[in-house]
Structure 1
Amino acid sequence: MSLFSRSFVATALLALSCSAAQAASLDEVQKAGVLKVCTPGDYKPFSFALPDGSFEGLDVDLVASLAASLGVKPQFVKTSWAKLMDDFTGGACDIAVGGISVTLERQKRAWFSVPYMVNGKTPLVRCADVSRYQTVAAIDQAGVKVVANPGGSNERFARANFKTAQLTIHTDNITIFNEVLSGRADVFVTESAETLVQQKLNPGLCAVNPDKPLQYGEMAYLLPRGDTLTKAYVDQWLHLIRAQGDYQRITAKWLN
């Protein structure tokens, strides 16, 4: 057998081996009857942990649809933005959801589904200050107090763009909005969808140009790296729920 033939056979066997492993990954979910879902659960409207231990939100409803399509139940695994990638790559769950921004750093360690939402970085400020904080340059000024939550793309955006403003990392993503309302902070930059929800929940806070974000962004689901079967299935499921109108119905419930 020639060197080329041996190489071709080895490659084919490796592909078959990988396909079998990937098929088993999806099969194991169905055999177990459970889809394990990592989520921080502190990010309205995508995923929010309730006092009784259950979760609600746009991604919670969507992943319930995904689980139903597989004939299994979703089982949510609480994580944090700082621990998300370690928990996911460590095998704590089969998929991760909850308003996860697509980043190249995350792509190095896992795969993403096709994006299900375009959702860029948008300032959330006191309503009286909307005209003051229209751009990154306007925010990055001495005396401006910026707040960010740790471990995710919000912190990375803040550290990359705000070198002159005073930056504080606030560890509780649920109470971070009170920092701006109270005046302890002036600006919180997060995804536009969150700013739209939080300005409704917190009178006095306003999103700054949510239809024209400071930075383009996409949201997608984290999937196991190298598992082509799972990625193909999730991508096709997303395509079908869009085509059939289920995606629009669920997003309208949480965003309108």
Structure 2
Amino acid sequence: MKKFLATLLLAATTLGGAAAQAGAIEDAVKSGTLRVGMDPTYMPFEMTNKRGEIIGFEVDLLKDMAKAMGVKLELVSTSYDGIIPALLTNKFDMIGSGMTLTQERNLRLNFSEPFIVVGQTLLIRKDLQGQIKTYKDLNDPKYRLTSKIGTTGEMIAKKLISKAEYHGYDNEQEAVMDVVNGKADAFVYDAPYNVVAVNKAGAGKLLYLAEPFTYEPLAFGLKKGDYDSINWINNYLQQIRHDGTYDRLHAKWFKDTSWLKDME
């Protein structure tokens, strides 16, 4: 009997300790601020305009989320290749940076339900038109690929187009310019970014191969075990998908291109 009671007391203590550990959403409500880590270089999800303001589709989702929580939103600019370690060392409460929910990342993080699904596409040198029709045509040592370091674009290039030479950059713009300037043959990246970049940065020298060749759900990332926050965020996403908020924000950034005038 004593052993049984001791086991019950230990279980109660453990459960009490678990309950005492507040999650990201509860912490934000208590502090009055939701801190979100992002690398603001991913059009049209998060990017910096001419006035130095961080804007975009995901930014607007997070602003609306913070409003629903009754708190302020603080965006913490963080390099993408260091964004997971920064979350795990409490630099911010959650990741909202166009992050693809991969099985590898899911071993280190909990993820919300996806708020959008994208796929990898290609920007290629225009003089390769007809020669390169799919990513498979680039899987040759004579071609040079580029993408952004730490992204699924880099992962997919190395996995599916592994025979080609690869060189990554810290930001998308540098990588795209490598193709524009003829130093690389193709830029591997998410479709929403490429559909904008082909005109904004392409200088008439790029061709957009629009057929996605991967399935990539983008989601918000939180620390492992923070199920209360995941529950709240998932319920929030369900709400905005049915009350018109999501459709309104999606149209603002993906159908209306007037925001491009505000970019550098």
**Alignment correspondent of 2:15:** 15
Q: What is the aligned-residue RMSD (CA, Å)?
A: 2.1
SS of the residue 2:86 aligns to: helix
Per mean C-alpha deviation after superposition, the further-off stretch among 103-112 and 199-208 is 199-208
Aligned residues: 253
Does structure 1 conserve the Cα–Cα contact (< 8 Å) formed by 2:26 and 2:229?
A: no
Q: Give the direction of change, closer, same or farther, for the CA distance of 1:26–1:20 in structure 2 (3 Å limit).
A: farther
**Which deviates the most, 233-242 or 27-36?**
27-36
The one-letter amino acid paired with 1:15 is L
Correspondences of 1:13-92 after superposition (within 5 Å): 13-22=13-22, 25-50=24-49, 52-92=51-91
CA deviations 1:46-94 (Å, max 9, x no partner) are 1113465420111110000010011111111111111111111111111
Cα pair distance change 1:115/1:12, threshold 3 Å: farther
1:207 aligns with 2:208: yes
**Change in CA separation of 1:118 and 1:27 when aligned onto 2, cut-off 3 Å:** closer
Matching of residue 251 in structure 1 with residue 250 in structure 2? yes
> Which blocks of at least 5 consecutive residues in structure 1 are unaligned?
none
Q: Distance in 1 between matches of 2:254 and 2:65?
A: 20
Structure-2 change in CA distance of 1:123 and 1:6 (3 Å): farther
Partner of 1:229: 228
Q: What SS is found at the alignment partner of 2:80?
A: coil
Give the equivalent residue in structure 2 for 1:151: 150
State the one-letter code of the partner of 1:19. Answer: A
Query: For structure 1, which segment, 153-162 or 34-43, has the greater mean C-alpha deviation from structure 2 after superposition?
Result: 153-162
Q: Aligned equivalents of 1:201 and 1:12: distance in 2? A: 59
| TM-aligned CA distance change 1:224 to 1:124, over 3 Å | same
Alpha-carbon offset, residue 187 of structure 1: 0.8
Q: Does 1:160 align with 2:162?
A: no
Contact 1:133 1:208 (8 Å CA) reproduced:
no
Structure 2: gaps spanning 5 or more residues:
256-264
Once the two structures are TM-superposed, the CA of residue 172 in structure 1 deviates from its matched residue by: 3.0
Which residue of structure 1 lines up, in the alignment, with residue 194 of structure 2?
195
**Which range moved further: 140-149 or 198-207?**
198-207
Provide the residue aligned with 1:103 in structure 2.
102
Does the C-alpha gap of structure 1 residues 193 and 3 become closer, same or farther in structure 2, counting only changes over 3 Å?
Answer: farther
SS at match of 1:83: helix
One-letter code of the match for 1:223? L
Identity of aligned residues (%): 26
Report the residue type matching 1:78 in the other structure: S
Which amino acid is 2:70 matched to? G
Matched, 1:135 2:134: yes
| Aligned counterpart, 2:258 | none
One-letter identity of the residue aligned with 2:207 = C
Once residues 214 and 4 of structure 1 are traced to their aligned partners in structure 2, the CA distance between those partners, rounded to angstroms, is 57
Deviation at 1:10, TM superposition (A): 3.8
Q: TM-score, normalized by length of structure 2?
A: 0.87
Offset at 1:232? 0.5
Question: Partner amino acid for 2:209?
Answer: V
Moved more, 92-101 or 124-133: 124-133
